[in-house]
Amino acid sequence: MPLSIPQSNPKAGYLAHKKAIDEAISRVLESGWYILGREVASFETEFAAYLGTSHALGVASGTDALQLSLRACGVGPGDFVITVSHTATATAAAIDLCGATPLFVDIDPDSFTMDPNALEDALRRSKRKKPKAVIPVHLFGHPADMSAILEIANRHNLRVVEDCAQSHGATFRRKKTGTWGHMGAFSFYPTKNLGALGDGGLVVTGDPELADKVRLLREYGWEERYVSKIPGVNSRLDEIQAAILRAKLTHLDQDNDSRRQIAGAYSSLLAASGLILPDVTPEATHVYHQYVIRTENRESLRTHLRGRGIGTLIHYPVPVHQQPAYANRSEGNTPLPRTEEAARQILSLPMYPELPADQIQTIVREIVTWCRT
């Protein structure tokens, strides 16, 4: 049988916790309550406690979590929101769904996250287009420099919404991502560090007024059933996904430890390869949603690995500001050389907690073989 090592493997995550997940699903089916019931409420409480914040609200997806967070912060048509272009399109899509316009800034080349100096420069240049909010993205599992970003945001009266779709359990200065800004937005897409068996998202905040706004927004603006106090949407985390997430939450730290061990093995075994390997800021705890290397000859390496049955992905091949949907619509942007360079060089190696040690050895051996050719 030919070798096949996937880049991600949500099925392995299900099988690792199959008994608890199956029991959770059965519990929901037997309850007869499938939307915004006890499982959602319990998961919201448990995840808020895990993060160390006071409010968590389940929604339908990570994109909705960002969009509703922005709307709760007062972002709407005609507003501007600063974020990075080196991110999933969902970050910009959430801004767009509010009727606002993204302003992109460059990244730190080591962490791949928002460069606070670039944020400061963008604010200095945007006097005519005063932004209302900023979305730092904790990319690949590495936290952004939230201390510096918050200091800048506070001086400019910006709301801060953290994009935590790839940083479940990550910390900066021992404080978990999602608890630094006014709001944090999480995705539970199946490949995430904490993944459901379908779509799901969550908004977290320490502000009760913002929590109340999201609670209204996620269900038609209802303050009482069938009576909309404000215009809202239908964005509800369902009971089955919440129950699955409750079962998996108890294993999140252990799974993140496994990811760090795999990353440590990669870094040790590839230290002499000549590739640029992930760097970790001393103040950060990386949770390695992805293990991302850099090379000028990416396509050659990717082709070599594909031929050996080893899956890789590029997160992300085209920066958002260069994509057709946004290239002519985002205003006031400056050149983003570090973002564009990263998009040309990055490659995500296989990464999931259940990745076997012998497969790690095989992946490394094939990379070293390519490096020597």
Q: What is the pLDDT of residues 287-325, one digit of tens each?
A: 999 999 999 999 999 999 999 999 999 999 999 999 999
The CA–CA distances, whole Å, from 166 to 72, 247, 291, 319 equal: 22, 19, 12, 17
Residues above pLDDT 90, as percent of the chain: 94
SS (H, E, C) 262-314: HHHHHHHHCCCCCCECCCCCCCEECCCCCEEEECCCHHHHHHHHHHCCECCEC
pLDDT, mean of residues 262-266? 98
The per-residue pLDDT for range 266-282, each reduced to its tens digit, is: 999 999 999 999 999 99
Per-residue confidence at 346, pLDDT binned at 50, 70, 90? very high
pLDDT, mean of residues 190-218? 98
Query: What residue ranges in the chain does DSSP mark as E strands?
Result: 55-59, 80-84, 101-105, 133-135, 159-163, 171-172, 175-176, 183-187, 201-205, 222-224, 227-228, 284-285, 291-294, 346-349
pLDDT score of 14 = 96
Distance CA 288, CA 262 (A): 9
The per-residue pLDDT for range 320-344, each reduced to its tens digit, is: 999 999 987 655 567 899 999 999 9
Residues 6+ apart with CB under 8 A from 299: none
pLDDT score of 1 = 44
pLDDT score of 126 = 77
Distance CA 144, CA 226 (A): 41
Name the residue among 226, 239, 210, 224 with its Cα closest to residue 65: 210
Domains of the chain: 10-249 (3.40.640.10), 252-372 (3.90.1150.10)
User: Would you report the helix, strand and coil content of the chain in percent, each value rounded to 5?
Assistant: 45, 15, 40
pLDDT, mean of residues 233-262? 98
The per-residue pLDDT for range 9-25, each reduced to its tens digit, is: 999 999 999 999 999 99
The per-residue pLDDT for range 51-62, each reduced to its tens digit, is: 999 999 999 999
Quick check: 103 pLDDT over 50? yes
- Phi/psi at 253 (5° precision): -65, -40
Give the pair of three-digit tokens for residue 295.
């090379």
pLDDT score of 333 = 62
pLDDT score of 3 = 73
Quick check: 205 pLDDT over 90? yes
